[in-house]
């Protein structure tokens, strides 16, 4: 089922487009990587999807309805984000962070009912962090913090989760663990997962599609292995032949 | 001038009581007629070399005769150094050699800058206001005459105490600047810039009402009008002392306290302050009379309530343009309504601006005293007396 | 079990507060015995001066301290969370500077002293200072609200608030420079803060005004919690950042304006008390923090009022001096702890 669709979307700041005419869709169960060099516009795309900034032109539709027609609360139930930015309050507990994900569902005092408590518990279980629930967030390791932030997005119960560089700062095993988790979220929980990453080799293994944003303002989307085969990835990332071949073999 | 006039009118009456003073007046009048004379050098032969202090009630200023002029020494309560030493010598005479290197003010002065309104009021009263070329804080006076002179640019505003307009002062080129000396504020260098003589007018330091008033004579000395200011002052003394002696023997001395608090803190006059003396001389007991301070003492509201609640009278100062009323007081702070003086409507208020309190009262201590005697012991004063400064507040609203 | 600790903690603070309140009735320049005080509370007799001291002087002062302490502490908490800055306090919006400017204009410009008179306004002069302070505060508040509805970035807002504060205090300095010493003295005294400016007759208005603000602040808890995560996350969770910051600034500014109008600028309560609340309960949950900060603010103000009026001084100490002595060490220890 199609969740998000863009129609001739142009993104940028102050009416100046940095990437134009984007036509893509996010379906449930998709796990999609957004790649490209720094400054190509990946964050801009995220900010446009999360309505932090407005599109320069074009449309974004969520379940067939224009994104800007969703009020704040309903939009919050649609899209969850995980950024590299982290809260740093020294008294914030893990349970507080994950509970925040329930904000669109709780009353004006933020009271957690049984459903909310259940969702929090389940979210932490999914990311494999239920042993951390009573810990102070600040005392966790980077990997643990990342899991908790994802748990929060899960608790937010949104059909789409967007993650900005989720594997940055993680060691190799943790990266694998994280990508597996994301794939599980997509396939088992039927969410649409969109994330940006520089870990080319790994992401190709775990993703269905890749969206490429290159510095020359082009945008291209396609299935991961096709992009590899037809040499587009090689071209966009100036891969040496042997690297491209290596990736091909790994992803067969 | 009306002081001189009233002196003459009351001449016969007071003659009976003040032989000594009158005698002294005659002597000094004759002497003065000589000293401010034109042309003659023979004034120098009339050297009166007594060290008698011509100021009788002051603590901080000594004036003695010196040849044909005067020697003035001004001291202070903070240290042993003199605030100023001056020789006054008539313009018309040759300056004695030994005074060549001393601080000399030639009299009469031609161009004066006064720091406070009390000073220019004396000039005004003597008819010598033309000698005043610059004043401070001109916005605070309502005096019609001064305002006219300011408008005609015959007098200029030279700024405020902490921020003198140096350029205007230089332009005025004063002979003498009558300034207010403080222990903590360094003396302004304006004297050096303009060549003017900086004369510390320390009247405010005097705590005795007559001592403070006697400073008006200083202006007399500066303008060669000593005769008139002596007469003026003696007049004051006579009236003051007679009232005081009347009150000294009263059976019942009502109690009195003073002032309104600011932000919960009262600043009360010390027991040895100017106003405390007035209270005493007017036959009343100031609640804090046993305090020894000559300035203000900070006291909190609780203490004031407990000590002064049953005081018979309450003196307050009104610095606004509207008269105070009992209702206004109660709105300002409902604690006021608990005082006996409030309940019995025995509040004595002074409308500062309307009455010219800060300008004139210093030189009318007898009138100030009389206002209070009229309140404390009305039988001592004529029944149709109109108070000049402090009157009993009657307005409800 | 966690909840039990919290309840005990809160009960303890309330108890301590009650004790401080009672002490405030006992302690003062004039010594009054236990018996006397209870007699007063039972039957109020205006013939006895001691009754008046307790009922008309100490009681309203203690109430004022209580309310002002709660208001400023909460205002500070709101500022600290909004700007995600542990050193934020109510004065950051420039509101106290605006109030000072208003008062400066009244006291310094019109050249009238003693009793805070606005010469040309007749009997309004009696409330002239409070009114001027309030107007000055509200003007600055309105300016800040206008900015905050246009600007999303909190750092930008902080800078604007600070600059407005500097601007207001510079203008006040210019006024001081051209003023008489008595006026400057009066103005300085106002700036030291005082809880004695609200008598029993003005108390209802004061109390209700503060109560409204405090009550409104309770409803901010959820949004404040979300804001702790960061602006982007808060927005993603459905928070309207601009509207939220406008409301927070409005409530915080309103509370600050009221207190400053009646008591003068009081420092350190808004800055230090939220930290004490956080450290005592080891929590960032504003549903707990807001009411607790109110209570702690009350206690602090009552304590400072007590110290300021200790017998042995025939005059009182200015409030700001006492709050600084207590507040500054608190802030220092907070910073040290955070570094760890």
Cα separation, A205 vs A251, whole angstroms: 6
ipTM for the predicted complex: 0.92
Q: Are C297 and C64 in contact (CB under 8 A)?
A: no
Closest chain A C-alpha to C11 CA, distance in angstroms: 22
Q: What is the pLDDT of residue C11?
A: 96
Average pLDDT over residues B97-112: 92
Q: For residue B262, what pLDDT band results from cuts at 50, 70 and 90? A: confident
Residue C115 has pLDDT above 50, yes or no: no
Chains B and A touch (3+ CB pairs under 8 A): no
> Does the CB of C26 have a partner CB in chain B at under 8 Å?
no
Chain C neighbours, 3+ Cβ pairs < 8 A: A, B
Q: Which of C52, C127, C197 sits opposite B263 (nearest CB)?
A: C197
Closest chain C C-alpha to B218 CA, distance in angstroms: 26
pLDDT (tens digit, 0 to 9) for every residue of chain A, 252 residues total?
A: 899 999 999 999 988 888 888 999 999 999 999 988 888 889 999 999 999 999 999 999 999 999 989 999 999 999 999 999 899 899 999 999 999 999 999 999 999 999 999 999 999 999 999 899 999 999 999 889 999 999 999 999 999 999 999 988 888 888 998 999 999 999 999 999 999 998 888 888 888 899 988 777 778 888 877 777 677 777 766 777 777 777 777 665
Residue B320 has pLDDT above 90, yes or no: no
> Does the CB of C50 have a partner CB in chain B at under 8 Å?
yes
Average pLDDT over residues C123-151: 81
Q: For residue B266, what pLDDT band results from cuts at 50, 70 and 90? A: confident
The two tokens of residue A65 are: 């309805």
Q: What is the pLDDT of residue A41?
A: 87
With contacts defined as CB-CB under 8 Å, which chain A residues touch C230?
Answer: 83, 85-87
Give B300's strand partners.
B265
Residues with Cβ within 8 Å of C290's Cβ and at least 6 positions away in sequence, in order, are: C74, C77, C217, C218, C220, C221, C224
Contact A96 C230 (CB under 8 A): no
Residue C283 has pLDDT above 60, yes or no: yes
Q: Which of C219, C233, C236 sits opposite A108 (nearest CB)?
A: C219
Measured in degrees and rounded to the nearest 5, phi and psi for residue A224 equal -55, -50
With contacts defined as CB-CB under 8 Å, which chain A residues touch C241?
Answer: none
Residue B40 has pLDDT above 80, yes or no: no
> What chain A residue is nearest to C283 in terms of C-alpha separation?
A91
Q: For residue B50, what pLDDT band results from cuts at 50, 70 and 90? A: low
> How many other β-carbons are positioned within 10 Å of the β-carbon of residue A154?
26
Cα separation, B165 vs B170, whole angstroms: 9
Contact A110 C221 (CB under 8 A): yes
Cα separation, C245 vs C257, whole angstroms: 17
Query: What would the pLDDT profile of B215-260 be if each residue is shown by its tens digit?
Result: 999 999 999 999 999 999 999 999 999 999 999 989 999 999 999 8
With contacts defined as CB-CB under 8 Å, which chain A residues touch C152?
Answer: none
Q: C residues 165-224 near A, CB within 8 Å?
A: 219, 221-222
> Does the CB of C52 have a partner CB in chain B at under 8 Å?
yes
Residue B16 has pLDDT above 50, yes or no: no
Report DSSP state, residue A69: G
Tell how far CA B4 is from the center of its chain: 18
Q: What is the pLDDT of residue C118?
A: 38
Residue C261 has pLDDT above 60, yes or no: yes
Q: For residue B49, what pLDDT band results from cuts at 50, 70 and 90? A: very low
Three-class secondary structure assignment of C245-301: HHHHHHHHHHHHHHHHHHHCCCCCHHHHHHHHHHHHHCCCCHHHHHHHHHHHHHHHH
Q: For residue C75, what pLDDT band results from cuts at 50, 70 and 90? A: very high
> What chain C residue is nearest to A109 in terms of C-alpha separation?
C222
Contact B306 C179 (CB under 8 A): no
Q: For residue B31, what pLDDT band results from cuts at 50, 70 and 90? A: low
Q: Give the residue among C273, C288, C279 at the shortest CA–CA distance from C336.
A: C279
Q: Which of A83, A89, A91 sits opposite C232 (nearest CB)?
A: A83
Average pLDDT over residues B372-386: 94
Q: Which of C49, C117, C315 sits opposite B265 (nearest CB)?
A: C315
Cα separation, A199 vs A180, whole angstroms: 14
Closest chain B C-alpha to C239 CA, distance in angstroms: 44
Q: For residue C152, what pLDDT band results from cuts at 50, 70 and 90? A: confident
Q: Which pairs with CB-CB distance under 8 Å and at least 24 residues apart come from B362-365?
A: B362/B118, B362/B203, B362/B212, B362/B213, B362/B215, B363/B118, B363/B121, B363/B122, B363/B125, B363/B213, B363/B216, B363/B236, B364/B213, B364/B236, B364/B388, B365/B209, B365/B210, B365/B212, B365/B213, B365/B236, B365/B240, B365/B278
Share of chain B above pLDDT 70, in %: 86
Instruction: Determine which of C53, C115, C198 to mutate to test the interface with B (most B C-beta atoms within 10 Å).
Output: C115
Cα A189 to Cα A98, A163, A176, A195, B343: the distances in Å are: 18, 16, 19, 16, 83
Cα separation, B234 vs A153, whole angstroms: 96
| DSSP-derived 3-state class of residue A112 | coil
Cα separation, A105 vs A110, whole angstroms: 8
Residue B51 has pLDDT above 90, yes or no: no
B359 versus C285: the higher-pLDDT residue is C285
Task: Report the mean per-residue pLDDT for chain B.
Answer: 85
Cα separation, B126 vs B4, whole angstroms: 9
Q: For residue B185, what pLDDT band results from cuts at 50, 70 and 90? A: low
Residue C116 has pLDDT above 90, yes or no: no
Give B86's strand partners.
B72
Please report the number of interchain residue pairs, chain A to chain C, with beta-carbon separation below 8 angstroms. Answer: 71
Contact B302 C190 (CB under 8 A): no
Report DSSP state, residue C105: I
Query: What would the pLDDT profile of B325-347 be if each residue is shown by its tens digit?
Result: 898 888 888 889 999 999 999 99
B354 versus B213: the higher-pLDDT residue is B213
Q: What is the pLDDT of residue A245?
A: 74
Chain A residues with at least one Cβ partner in C under 8 Å: 50-52, 72-73, 75-77, 79-81, 83, 85-87, 89-93, 96-97, 100-101, 103-104, 106, 108-110, 156
Which value, in Å, is the radius of gyration of the alpha carbons in chain C? 20
Residue B7 has pLDDT above 60, yes or no: no
């Amino acid at each position: 089922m199609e969740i998000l669709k863009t129609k001739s979307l142009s993104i940028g700041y102050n009416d100046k487009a940095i990437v134009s005419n984007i036509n893509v869709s996010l379906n449930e169960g998709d796990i999609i990587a957004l790649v490209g060099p720094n400054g190509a516009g990946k964050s801009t795309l995220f900010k446009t999807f999360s309505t932090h900034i407005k599109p320069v032109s074009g449309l974004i539709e969520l379940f067939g309805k224009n994104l800007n027609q969703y009020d704040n609360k309903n939009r919050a139930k649609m899209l969850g984000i995980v950024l590299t930015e982290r809260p740093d309050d020294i008294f914030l507990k893990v349970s507080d962070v994950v509970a925040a994900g329930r904000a669109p569902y709780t009353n004006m005092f933020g009271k957690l009912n049984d459903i909310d408590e259940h969702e929090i518990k389940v979210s932490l279980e999914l990311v494999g962090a239920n042993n951390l629930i009573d810990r102070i967030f600040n005392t966790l390791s980077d990997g643990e913090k990342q899991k908790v932030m994802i748990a929060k997005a899960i608790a937010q119960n949104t059909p789409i989760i967007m993650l900005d560089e989720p594997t940055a700062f993680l060691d190799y095993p943790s990266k694998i663990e994280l990508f597996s988790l994301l794939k599980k979220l997509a396939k088992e929980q039927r969410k649409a997962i969109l994330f940006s990453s520089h870990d080319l080799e790994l992401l190709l293994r775990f993703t269905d599609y890749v969206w490429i944003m290159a510095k020359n303002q082009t945008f291209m989307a396609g299935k991961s292995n096709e992009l590899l085969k037809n040499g587009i990835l090689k071209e966009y990332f100036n891969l040496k032949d042997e690297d491209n071949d290596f990736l091909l073999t790994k992803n067969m | 001038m009306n002081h001189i006039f009233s002196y003459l009118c009351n001449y016969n009456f007071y003659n009976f009581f003040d032989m000594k003073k009158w005698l002294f007046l005659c002597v000094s009048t004759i002497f003065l007629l000589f000293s401010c004379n034109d042309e003659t050098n023979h004034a120098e032969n009339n050297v009166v070399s007594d060290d008698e202090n011509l100021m009788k009630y002051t603590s901080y200023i000594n004036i003695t005769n010196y040849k044909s002029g005067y020697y003035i020494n001004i001291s202070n309560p903070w240290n042993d150094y003199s605030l100023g030493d001056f020789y006054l010598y008539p313009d018309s005479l040759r300056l004695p050699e030994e005074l060549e290197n001393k601080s000399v003010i030639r009299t009469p002065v031609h161009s004066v800058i006064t720091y406070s309104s009390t000073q220019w009021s004396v000039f005004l009263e003597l008819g010598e206001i033309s000698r005043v070329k610059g004043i401070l804080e001109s916005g605070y006076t309502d005096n019609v005459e001064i305002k006219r002179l300011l408008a005609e640019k015959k007098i200029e505003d030279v700024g405020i105490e902490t921020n003198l307009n140096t350029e205007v002062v230089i332009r005025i080129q004063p002979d003498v600047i009558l300034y207010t000396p403080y222990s903590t504020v360094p003396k302004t260098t304006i004297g050096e810039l303009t060549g003017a003589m900086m004369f510390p007018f320390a009247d405010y330091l005097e705590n005795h009402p007559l001592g403070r008033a006697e400073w008006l004579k200083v202006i007399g000395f500066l303008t060669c009008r000593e005769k008139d200011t002596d007469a003026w002052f003696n007049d004051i003394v006579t009236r003051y002392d007679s009232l005081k002696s009347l009150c000294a023997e009263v059976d019942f001395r009502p109690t009195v306290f003073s002032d309104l608090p600011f932000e919960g803190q009262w600043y009360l006059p010390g027991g040895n302050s100017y106003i405390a003396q007035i209270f005493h001389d007017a036959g009343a007991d100031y609640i804090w009379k046993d305090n020894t301070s000559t300035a203000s003492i900070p006291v909190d509201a609780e203490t004031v309530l407990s000590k002064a609640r049953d005081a018979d009278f309450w003196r307050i100062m009104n610095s606004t343009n509207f008269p105070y009323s009992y209702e206004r007081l109660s709105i300002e702070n409902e604690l006021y309504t608990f005082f006996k003086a409030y309940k019995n409507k025995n509040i004595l208020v002074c409308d500062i601006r309307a009455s010219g309190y800060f300008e004139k009262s210093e030189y009318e201590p007898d009138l100030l005293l009389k206002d209070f005697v009229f309140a404390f012991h009305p039988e001592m004063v004529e029944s149709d007396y109109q108070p000049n400064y402090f009157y009993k507040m009657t307005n409800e609203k | 079990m966690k909840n039990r600790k919290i309840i005990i903690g809160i009960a303890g603070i309330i108890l301590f507060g009650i004790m401080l309140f009672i002490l405030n009735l006992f302690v003062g320049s004039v010594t009054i015995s236990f018996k006397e005080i209870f007699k007063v509370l039972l039957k109020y007799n205006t013939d006895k001066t001691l009754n008046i001291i307790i009922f008309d002087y100490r009681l309203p002062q203690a109430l004022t301290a209580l309310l002002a302490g709660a208001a400023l502490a909460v205002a500070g908490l709101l500022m600290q969370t909004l700007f995600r800055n542990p050193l934020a306090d109510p004065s950051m919006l420039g509101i106290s500077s605006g109030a000072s400017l208003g008062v400066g204009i009244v006291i310094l410009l019109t050249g009238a002293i003693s009793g805070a008179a606005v010469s040309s306004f007749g009997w309004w002069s009696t409330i002239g200072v409070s009114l001027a302070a309030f107007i000055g505060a509200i003007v600055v508040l309105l300016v800040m609200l206008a900015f905050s509805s246009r600007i999303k970035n909190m750092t930008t807002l902080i800078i604007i608030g600070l600059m407005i504060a500097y601007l207001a205090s510079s203008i006040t300095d210019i006024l001081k420079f051209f003023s008489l010493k008595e006026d400057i003295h009066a103005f300085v005294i106002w700036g030291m803060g005082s809880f004695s400016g609200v008598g029993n007759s003005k108390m209802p208005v004061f109390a209700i005004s503060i109560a409204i603000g405090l009550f409104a602040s309770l409803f901010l808890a959820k949004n404040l919690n979300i804001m702790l995560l960061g602006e982007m996350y808060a927005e993603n969770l459905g928070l309207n950042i601009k509207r939220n910051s406008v409301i927070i600034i409005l409530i915080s500014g309103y509370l600050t304006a009221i207190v400053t109008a009646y008591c003068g600028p009081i420092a350190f309560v808004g800055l230090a008390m939220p930290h004490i609340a956080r450290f005592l309960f080891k929590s960032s949950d504003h549903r707990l923090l807001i009411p607790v900060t109110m209570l702690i603010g009350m206690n602090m103000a009552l304590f400072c009022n007590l110290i300021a009026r200790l017998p042995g001084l025939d005059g009182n100490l200015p409030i700001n001096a006492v709050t600084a002595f207590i507040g500054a060490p608190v802030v220092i220890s907070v910073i040290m702890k955070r570094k760890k």
